[in-house]
Structure 1
Amino acid sequence: TNTVITGIHLLVGLFLFDTILTLVLSAYCGILVEACSKHSQRVRCLVYAELFGILGGSIIFPLNVFSDEAKNFGRFQVGCAIIAVIGAASMSGGAYFLNTKKEHELHEEIEMAK
Structure 2
Amino acid sequence: MAYDEVLAERVRELLEEGEEIVAKKMFGGLVFMVQGNTAVGVVGDELLVRVGPDRTPRALARPGARPFESRGRVSKGWVLVAGEVLDDDVLDDWLQLGREAAAGLPPK
Answer yes or no: same fold by TM over 0.5.
no
From the CA coordinates, give the structure whose radius of gyration is larger: 1
Q: Whose strand proportion is higher, 1 or 2?
A: 2
Q: Whose helix proportion is higher, 1 or 2?
A: 1
Q: When the two structures are superposed, what TM-score results if normalisation uses the length of structure 1?
A: 0.28
Q: When the two structures are superposed, what TM-score results if normalisation uses the length of structure 2?
A: 0.29
